[in-house]
């Protein structure tokens, strides 16, 4: 694990500990930070992929590991994680950065479930960072950008850049990243 990622993870653990200390009835955690740390190195030119507006994917929680990216019209994004815990008997650790194109804020952020093990940092530059340990459920975050705005996703799975585990719908079919897919990856909606 790089020193850069370890320091970011340490901050996330401290924030998570503070959230857990809020009590057993806590409903998720949001941490506002101005940290510029990214979970993985960025390539100079990320791939751009088309994401089909209004398309949804069917995911069996616990049956396969991945990050699922969906876009609804009007700027509504949904990012959620699944793990292969039913097979491996261990959770998957996800560290996901999402940011909209320059000058477009991310707002109306909501966690999928309300387990206090998930955290979302709202970042000073307008993006967000989601850190979650997913096991048998689906963990994730919903947010809104300007309608039709592209977003950039940077994802680590168990501490490694894993673009082969990113899924989206394009041209009516589910698409999964390959070994040549960049991390980060830019998603452009087919319709605002």
Residue written as token pair 């019209």:
73
Report how far residue 61's alpha carbon sits from residue 138's, in angstroms, rounded to the nearest whole number.
Answer: 6
Report how far residue 38's alpha carbon sits from residue 18's, in angstroms, rounded to the nearest whole number.
Answer: 21
User: What is the DSSP track for 77-114?
Assistant: EEEEEE--HHHHSS-EEEEEEEEESTT---EEEEESS-
What confidence score (pLDDT) does residue 1 get?
39
What confidence score (pLDDT) does residue 3 get?
37
- Sequence-ordered list of residues with C-beta below 8 angstroms from that of 102, at least 6 positions apart, any chain: none
User: What is the DSSP track for 11-61?
Assistant: HHHHHHHHHHTT-TT----EEEE-----SSPPPSS-EEEEE-BT------T
Number of structural domains found in the chain: 1
- What CATH number is associated with residue 58? 2.60.40.290
Tens of pLDDT, residues 67-120: 999 999 999 999 999 999 999 999 999 999 999 998 899 999 998 875 555 889
What's the chain's Rg over C-alpha atoms?
A: 16
Domain that holds residue 66: 3-189
What confidence score (pLDDT) does residue 76 get?
98
User: The whole model's pTM is what?
Assistant: 0.78
Percent of the chain with pLDDT over 70: 75
Residues of the chain with pLDDT under 50: 1-42
């Amino acid at each position: 694990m790089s020193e850069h990622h370890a320091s970011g993870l340490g901050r996330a653990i401290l924030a998570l500990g503070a959230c857990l200390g809020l009590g057993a009835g806590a409903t998720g955690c949001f941490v506002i930070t101005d940290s510029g740390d990214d979970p993985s190195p960025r390539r100079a030119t990320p791939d751009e992929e088309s994401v089909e507006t209004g398309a949804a994917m069917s995911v069996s929680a616990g049956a396969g590991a991945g990050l699922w990216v969906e876009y609804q019209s009007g700027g509504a994004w949904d990012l959620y994680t699944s793990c292969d815990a039913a097979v491996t008997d261990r959770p998957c650790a996800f560290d996901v950065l999402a940011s909209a194109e320059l000058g477009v804020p991310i707002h109306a952020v909501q966690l999928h479930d309300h387990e206090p093990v998930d955290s979302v940092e709202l970042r000073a530059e307008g993006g967000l960072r989601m850190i979650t340990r997913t096991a048998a459920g689906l963990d994730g975050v919903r947010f809104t950008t300007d309608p039709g705005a592209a977003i950039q996703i940077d994802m680590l799975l168990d501490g490694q850049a894993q673009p082969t585990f990113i899924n989206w719908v394009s041209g009516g079919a589910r698409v999964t990243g390959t070994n040549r897919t960049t991390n980060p990856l830019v998603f452009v909606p087919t319709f605002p």
